[in-house]
């Protein structure tokens, strides 16, 4: 694979669209809350944990092509791969798109993130093994908490 490029972004006033509002969408949204991004969620069914997240606009219906317009970052996180593919078809060349069920269709991925005392550690397996990213996150967190105590 061509090498991937990690960044630390300021998202203030950037438009973020999340299509789907289930377990995977919840995890992406938890990472986005507090960034200052203008977040919109489009989904017919919405987890109660998402309904209570602050500063999110929820549109309770199926995805429509015009939803992607002007969004800087777009997540397709539905349980229907045809819908995720459809979202991908409306992506323009300047937009960042993560099809959370299909790495080949995405032009960015969400890493596992640790935030501890002014430090951000971001872990990616280049989309090969997200469960491993989660495991390594746990190990690095344990190491950091131990070394900060010393």
Ligand X SMILES: NC(=O)C1=CN([C@@H]2O[C@H](COP(=O)(O)OP(=O)(O)OC[C@H]3O[C@@H](n4cnc5c(N)ncnc54)[C@H](O)[C@@H]3O)[C@@H](O)[C@H]2O)C=CC1
Query: Using the rule CB under 6 A, is 43 a contact of ligand X?
Result: yes
**Which is closer to ligand SHN, CB of 66 or CB of 121?**
121
CB of 23 to ligand SHN, least distance (A): 7
Residue pair 50/32 in contact by the 8 Å Cβ criterion: no
**Residue in 74, 100, 105, 133 binding ligand X, rule: CB under 6 A:** 100
Check if the beta carbon of residue 99 is closer than 8 Å to that of residue 127.
no
Cβ neighbors of 33 (< 8 A, separation 6 or more) are 39, 53, 54, 55, 56
Residue 42: CB minimum distance to ligand X, A: 5
Beta partners for residue 121, in sequence order: 114
Cβ proximity to ligand X: between 80 and 124 the closer is: 80
Structure-token pair, residue 39: 């977040």
Strands 96-99 and 112-116: unpaired
**x/- contact string, 55-74, with ligand X (CB under 6 A)?**
-------xx-----------
| Selection from 12, 81, 13, 16 nearest residue 42 by Cα | 16
Say which entry of ligand X, ligand SHN, none residue 87 contacts (CB below 5 to 8 A, set by partner kind). none
Q: Report the residue closest to ligand X, judged by CB.
A: 22
| 20 counts as binding ligand X under rule CB under 6 A | yes
Of residues 64 and 148, the one with the C-beta less far from ligand X: 64
């Amino acid at each position: 694979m061509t090498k991937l490029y990690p960044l630390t972004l300021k998202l203030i006033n950037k438009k973020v669209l999340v299509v789907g509002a289930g377990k995977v969408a919840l995890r992406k949204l938890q990472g986005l809350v507090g960034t200052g991004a203008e977040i919109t969620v489009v989904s017919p069914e919405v987890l109660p944990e998402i309904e209570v997240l602050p500063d999110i606009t929820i549109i309770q219906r199926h995805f429509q092509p015009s939803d992607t317009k002007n969004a800087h970052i777009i997540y397709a996180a539905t349980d229907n791969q045809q819908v995720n593919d459809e979202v991908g078809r409306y992506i323009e060349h300047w937009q960042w798109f993560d099809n959370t069920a299909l790495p080949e269709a995405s032009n960015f991925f969400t890493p596992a993130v640790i935030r501890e005392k002014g430090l951000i550690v971001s872990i990616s397996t280049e989309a090969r093994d997200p469960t491993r990213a989660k495991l390594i996150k746990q190990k690095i967190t344990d190491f950091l908490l131990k070394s900060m105590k010393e």
